[in-house]
């Protein structure tokens, strides 16, 4: 990562992204401490490819997504989208770029306005995309609904009349309405039934093939990530721990945390693999202060003095394989 050269193939390149949130206490709401939600995160997404961002709850995946969308200001770092650094531009300059990056949310119930019909919700995106006129809007809405596998009868209906999977399709249609080139999928299937999950994932894959979309796919489900993603970045407490092409990561995981995640995947062959054990420790969200050195040492069985002195640099462990552990 650190020695990566500028690649014209990349649609999105994130470099050294940081975000910390204040912990406010007391009458004057002074910042009593800081939570480092995202620290020095760098990755890039190739045009037409999918990057999986994996990690446990609270590790900063969604914060990264919100910063890329500029829904949240970043503290440091660069977010280069199609050659433009999104961190340095004003809201007015961002406005035309907004259409290029869209998001699909985890919660299909909260992501649609309950007071807007499906046609209105998609029509809003179409208006932003410059589609004018009643007939053109209706035709394009039907086309988008058909693309995500819904009938045109859905247009006049309200979100509460649909199931979770159908709502997720509506959310995808809304995201597609502005013809984006990058879609951030923030755990799009984790709130759905397993059978519906497969439908949505196949839909996302088909859309990528048909429209040449790039995805940043955020998930904690490695099965899904292994199926959909071309590269995977593993995040732990705000840092990327390991970053590699999908097959490489699944076959030769180097970081103990990646081992842990892979061992947690339900697998018919799981009985054959020795399950990775970890130290009992507090979940990260309840312990804002970080340990000295490697931040995974509190959970890592194989930790010693060198972990506490570890500088925390991402090192290249193979062709296109980066890891943040001195043992690798």
Partner 1 sequence: MNTENTAPAAPLEEPAAPRRTRFEEFWRLLRKNSLALAGLVVFGLFLATAVAGVFLTSGSKPVLDPSVVRLQEKLRPPLSRSDAASLKPDEIPAMGVYLFGTDDLGRDVFARMLQGAWVSLTVGFVAVGISVAIGIFMGAIAGYYGQQYVRLEQVMLAAWLLGGAALLAAGVRTLGAVVLVAGHAWLFFSISPWGVSRRKSPPPWMRIFLKGTIRVDTIIMRFVDIMLCFPSFFLILTVVALLPASIYTIMIVIGLTSWEGTARFVRAEFLSLREQDFVAAARALGVGNFRIIFRHMTPNAIAPVLVSATIGIASAILTEAGLSFLGFGVPPPHATWGNILSDGKRFIFDAPWLTFIPGAAILLVVLAFNLFGEGLRDILNPKLRQRN
Contact between 103 and partner 1 by CB under 8 A: the answer reads: yes
Minimum distance between the CB of residue 87 and partner 1, rounded to whole angstroms? 13
Contact between 195 and partner 1 by CB under 8 A: the answer reads: yes
Among 48, 149, 226, 293, binds partner 1 (CB under 8 A): 149
Q: Which of residues 105-134 bind partner 1 (CB under 8 A)?
A: 105-107, 110-116, 124-125, 128
Q: Which stretch binds partner 1 (CB under 8 A): 32-40, 201-209, 221-229, 285-293?
A: 201-209
Nearer to partner 1, 155 or 264 (CB): 155
Is 78 buried (19+), middle (13-18) or exposed (0-12) by CB count in 10 A?
A: middle
Among 203, 213, 222, 294, binds partner 1 (CB under 8 A): 203
Determine which helix (DSSP H) or strand (DSSP E) holds 167, and give its type and residue range.
Answer: helix 164-176
Q: Which stretch binds partner 1 (CB under 8 A): 4-12, 52-60, 191-199, 314-322?
A: 191-199
Among 7, 9, 57, 163, binds partner 1 (CB under 8 A): 163
Contact between 84 and partner 1 by CB under 8 A: the answer reads: no
Q: What is the DSSP letter of 73?
A: -
Residues 6 or more apart whose Cβ sits within 8 Å of residue 186? 61, 62, 65, 103, 104, 105, 106, 218
Minimum distance between the CB of residue 7 and partner 1, rounded to whole angstroms? 26
Q: Which stretch binds partner 1 (CB under 8 A): 48-56, 174-182, 217-225, 245-253?
A: 174-182
Contact between 151 and partner 1 by CB under 8 A: the answer reads: yes
Map residue 79 onto helix, strand or coil.
Answer: strand
Minimum distance between the CB of residue 42 and partner 1, rounded to whole angstroms? 23
Q: Which stretch binds partner 1 (CB under 8 A): 153-161, 233-241, 254-262, 268-276?
A: 153-161
Contact between 153 and partner 1 by CB under 8 A: the answer reads: yes
Minimum distance between the CB of residue 220 and partner 1, rounded to whole angstroms? 18
Among 199, 208, 315, 316, binds partner 1 (CB under 8 A): 199
Query: What are the structure tokens assigned to 22, written together?
Result: 């204040």
Query: What are the structure tokens assigned to 79, written together?
Result: 């977010």
- Phi, psi at 176, each rounded to 5°: -75, -15
Residues 6 or more apart whose Cβ sits within 8 Å of residue 61? 53, 54, 55, 186, 218, 235
Q: How far is CA 220 from CA 145, 176, 235, 272, 317, in A?
A: 28, 24, 10, 23, 24
Q: Which stretch binds partner 1 (CB under 8 A): 12-20, 163-171, 262-270, 297-305?
A: 163-171
Place of tokens 């907004």: 98
Length of the chain: 328
As a three-state string, the secondary structure of 267-288 is: CCCCCCCCCCCCCCCCCHHHCC
Nearer to partner 1, 100 or 263 (CB): 100
Contacts by 300-304, CB closer than 8 A, 24 or more apart: 300/256, 300/257, 301/256, 301/276, 301/277, 302/256, 302/327, 303/279
Spatial separation of the C-alpha atoms in residues 191 and 197, rounded to whole Å: 9
Binding site for partner 1 (CB under 8 A): 66, 69, 71, 95-96, 98-99, 101-103, 105-107, 110-116, 124-125, 128, 145-151, 153-154, 157-158, 160-163, 165-166, 169, 171, 174-175, 177-178, 195, 198-199, 202-203, 206
């Amino acid at each position: 990562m650190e020695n990566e050269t500028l690649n014209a193939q990349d649609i999105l390149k994130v470099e050294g992204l940081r975000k910390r949130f204040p912990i406010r206490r007391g009458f004057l709401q002074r910042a009593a401490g800081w939570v480092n939600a995202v620290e020095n995160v760098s990755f890039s997404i190739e045009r037409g490819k999918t990057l999986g961002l994996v990690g446990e709850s609270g590790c900063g995946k969604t914060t990264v997504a919100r910063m890329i969308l500029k829904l949240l200001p970043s503290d440091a770092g660069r977010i280069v989208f199609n050659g433009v650094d999104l961190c340095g531009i004003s809201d007015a300059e961002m406005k035309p770029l907004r259409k290029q990056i869209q998001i699909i949310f985890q919660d299909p119930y909260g992501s649609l306005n309950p007071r807007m019909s499906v046609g209105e919700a998609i029509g809003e995106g179409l208006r932003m995309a410059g589609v004018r006129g009643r007939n053109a809007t209706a035709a394009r809405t039907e086309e988008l609904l058909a693309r995500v596998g819904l009938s045109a009868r859905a247009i006049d209906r309200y979100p509460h009349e649909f199931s979770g999977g159908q709502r997720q399709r509506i959310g995808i249609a809304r995201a597609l309405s502005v013809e984006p080139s990058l879609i951030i999928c923030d755990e799009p299937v984790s709130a759905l039934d397993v059978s519906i999950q497969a439908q949505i994932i196949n839909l996302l894959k088909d859309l990528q093939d048909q429209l040449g979309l790039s995805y940043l796919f955020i998930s904690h489900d490695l099965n899904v990530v292994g199926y959909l993603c071309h590269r995977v970045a593993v995040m732990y407490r705000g840092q990327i721990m390991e970053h590699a092409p999908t097959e490489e990561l699944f076959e030769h995981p180097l970081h103990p945390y990646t081992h842990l995640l892979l061992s947690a995947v339900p697998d018919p062959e799981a009985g054959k693999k020795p399950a990775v054990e970890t130290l009992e420790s507090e979940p990260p969200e309840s312990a804002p202060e970080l340990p000295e050195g490697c931040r995974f040492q509190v959970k890592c069985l194989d930790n010693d003095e060198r972990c506490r002195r570890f500088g925390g640099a991402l090192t290249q462990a193979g062709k296109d394989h980066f890891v943040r552990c001195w043992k690798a």
